[in-house]
Amino acid sequence: MRVIPAIDIIDGKCVRLSKGDYDTKKVYNENPLEVAKAFEAHGISYLHLVDLDGAKSSHIVNHKVLEQIATKTKLTIDFGGGLKTDEDLHIAFESGANQITGGSVAVKDRPTFLRWLNAYGTKKIILGADANNEKVAVSGWQEDSDQELIPFVQAYQKIGVEYVICTDISKDGMLEGPSFELYSKLLNKTKILRTEIGGSGVLDSEEIGIKLIASGGVSEFAELPKLKQLGCEGVIIGKAIYENRISLKQLEHYILEHE
């Protein structure tokens, strides 16, 4: 399971929110690059970078921060927040994103999201499936849609989506533990039995599913093995790092033990 720290950006600064509420903004560092370099120095290879200004304004805003981190670290960055148009996507990849996360666009503009999947491939485009009471939320979580979480993910899985980031918004930034039950349900409901004819003519069957990246609520190190056991492909950790509930040294040891 990949360890993916989060940096959320407002006005070029590293912040955290609670339950996506912009009024709860807390600035942790005015230099996101400094934070990213600290992650890298502790053996972390991945970064979840969110443009909260972009999410609110529906177009990419903080691409200069992305470019700075991409050019001055070797972190593999997935970038999200406000990506609505082909131009937004082009700017994100040109600025150094390795993957992008599409949430609102996958709900509100399915043809565009499908075009991105076809153009860039399923390894570069992550489905953002953030939920309130198992309903998908959009527009920086300011708005609920009528889409049920599991059917929404299943529909995209059928057309090839591999990576899914799922945040239970009620847990995000609350340091009360992840939504284990929701992730277990989502992983079980997206298992597909694939059957192929092997070289000897014998039918080979294997169960495959989405690559689920858990996000929201992580509060202590002991939760990581539980998420791994559930079958999560990655875990995004934000406030628990910034509030010193999980140390970078702990994450460094975890990564060394599981490589």
Active site residue 8: yes
Cα–Cα distance for residue pair 88/2, rounded to 1 Å:
27
- A 10 A CB-CB count for 164 gives 24
Strand partners, 128: 165
Pairing mode, strands 203-208 and 211-215:
unpaired
Catalytic residue among 8, 51, 78, 172: 8
What amino acid is encoded at 176 in this protein? E
- CA distances to 110, 160, 185, 244 from 153, rounded to whole Å, are 13, 11, 12, 33
- Catalytic residue of the set 78, 130, 168, 172: 130
State how beta strands 13-18 and 2-10 pair.
antiparallel
- The tokens describing 244, both together, are 């010193």
Active site residue 130: yes
Q: Indicate the DSSP class of residue 176.
A: S
> Annotated active-site positions, please?
8, 130
